[in-house]
Amino acid sequence: MGKMYAELIRMRFLTMLAYRVNYYSGIIIYAINIGAYYFLWGAIYGGQQQMAGLSAGQMTAYVAIAWMSRAFYFNNIDQEIAQEVRDGRVAIEMIRPYNYLSVKTAQALGEGIFRMLFFAIPGMILISFLIPFHFPASLQAWGLYLLSLLFAFVINTEINLLTGVITFFLFRNEGMMRSKRVVVDLLSGLILPISFFPGWAQTVMGFLPFQAINYYPSVIFTGAVSEARALQMIALQIVWVLVILIPITVLWQQARRKMIVQGG
Amino acid sequence: MKEIIGLFAQYLSQYFKTRFAYRADFLGEMVSNLVSELINLVFILVVFQHVPFLNEWNRDEIIFIYGFFLVPYALFSMFFSFWDFNERYIIKGEMDRILTRPLHNLAQVCLESIAPDRIFGVITGLIIMGYAAVRLKLDFAWYDLPIFIGLVLSSALIYGGVYTAIAAISFFSDSRTGIAPMIYNIQNYGRYPVDVYNKLIRFVLTWILPFAFVGVYPAAYLLGKKTLYGYAMLTPLMGIVFFGIGLAIWNWGVNKYQGAGS
């Protein structure tokens, strides 16, 4: 079983590799975004040394690593599921001897690994030449970052599975998936660190899983939090990984029973 | 022109018929447009809780610029929403059909892919501008209204021109270029005062991909920023020039276009 999923990860990786030219422009897009926010934050900090727990230098690192982490955790499996529901291919997928949602997750991981190797790592090297930038000092800090990045991937993928499965009930939900994407970008801390939000908003966000997707790994990377706090963040991520499994399981059970194949 | 307007009405009614087949999704898409417009506002609001000024600009001025930006951007994205031009028209060979139609081919493509729901962005933009204008106690003369409309149309033309030129690349190379999303992301820069950026980016945003003319420069006129009046007055000229360039590249591309393989 494990071998089959490993094969699925590999297949998706190879598919992405075959079309890698398409993704070179992606590196430039991320560079454009990082550049925009780099200058913007430079102007926002002005002369200030410290804001919301981040120094100007840490903010630079935050902007860069937040986008690069996104390269790894981001995927469109919700849209893939929606597409397969709409054109009826999902019927074939469901009679195959594997779990459909696990297959999607494996494919997402293959995509993530591809983007990590061909996108985030070269992008990071490129950026470290262009803007003043500090990598974590110790191996331990790197380890904490990578661990929380992995959980960030799992949580984001779970949220995508959830929105994807909702297609079974709504048939068309592009609008919802698009809103979800922008909302995740804001609430995950990609656009601005969670610590910048007013207190009440931070309290509300504490009850939502989104900051575990980007804010936690990014802020761990910048070194703006202590090691104890970093471990606490990773523990919270694990809790979210388990919590989101519940609605996925429930909806998936319902979806399989309720499924109407359109077209087919 | 009259013909185009008639067809526009026809396509509009077709559009609503298809969209209302899935009402929940239509609603969802409108909400998603609104959400993505508001997210940048949230960014501005949150950031200005920590700082009083962004360079020389205060919070309400930045909000006003963003509100202005939304208006031409909404018009542009309503009429030029063929994001998938390459795939839909070139790879699938739909362009061959377009060329047999009596209408100018660019107008035909624009009408087929029209997205009227984006018009709500104009309303969002006006509300945001209005909020900022009230807080800034801006005074407007009667002639500011026609000037505003002129500026908005010019700004939309700049986007339209740049976008048309990029879509036209597909006529020369049918492989996916990925340039369109790149340019799409660069427009993020236009929402904030260009003095935030370094000289090179400022130059690019003013003269090469003149997205500063979609946000800061025209908005500066309405904000009464006299030092930028020169740029604000250039906006219509930039609009005409860039749309002209875009159209010329498009027409050239259509002439060179050899049809789909299949």
Tokens of B216: 């800061």
List Cβ neighbours of A239 (8 Å cut-off, separation of 6 or more). none
Full-model pTM: 0.87
pLDDT digits (tens, 9 = 90+) for A161-182: 999 998 888 777 777 888 888 8
* pLDDT value of residue B34: 87
Chain B interface with A: residues with Cβ < 8 Å: 22, 24-32, 35-36, 39, 42-43, 46-47, 49-51, 53-55, 175-179, 181-182, 185-186, 188-189, 192, 196-198, 201
CA distances from A171 to A174, A178, A263, B7 (A): 9, 15, 12, 31
Q: Does A47 touch chain B (CB under 8 A)?
A: no
pLDDT digits (tens, 9 = 90+) for B221-239: 999 999 989 999 999 999 9
Q: How many CB atoms lie within 10 A of CB B202?
A: 17
Contact A178 B192 (CB under 8 A): no
As a whole number, mean pLDDT of residues A103-115 equals: 92
Contact A25 B181 (CB under 8 A): yes
Which chain B residue has its CA at the smallest distance from A197's CA? B46
B218 vs B154: CA distance, rounded Å: 9
Helices and strands in chain A: count of H runs, count of E runs:
12, 2
Tokens of A157: 């993928």
As a whole number, mean pLDDT of residues A139-148 equals: 93
CA distances from B62 to A76, B79, B185, B246 (A): 33, 27, 19, 30
Map out the domains of chain B as residue ranges: 2-256
Provide the pairing of β-strand B53-54 with B57-58: antiparallel
Contact A182 B188 (CB under 8 A): no
B111 vs B5: CA distance, rounded Å: 10
pLDDT digits (tens, 9 = 90+) for B110-122: 888 888 888 889 9
Q: What angle do CA B188, B193, B199 make, to 5 degrees?
A: 90
DSSP state of B175: S
Tell which of B44, B50, B208 to mutate to test the A interface (max A CBs under 10 Å). Answer: B50
* pLDDT value of residue A263: 54
Worst-scoring range by mean pLDDT, A227-231, B220-224, B254-258?
B254-258
Quick one: CA torsion of A233, A234, A238, A239, rounded to 10 degrees? -20
Write out chain B residues lying below 8 Å of A178, CB-based. Answer: 28-29, 32, 36
Which ipTM did the prediction report? 0.84
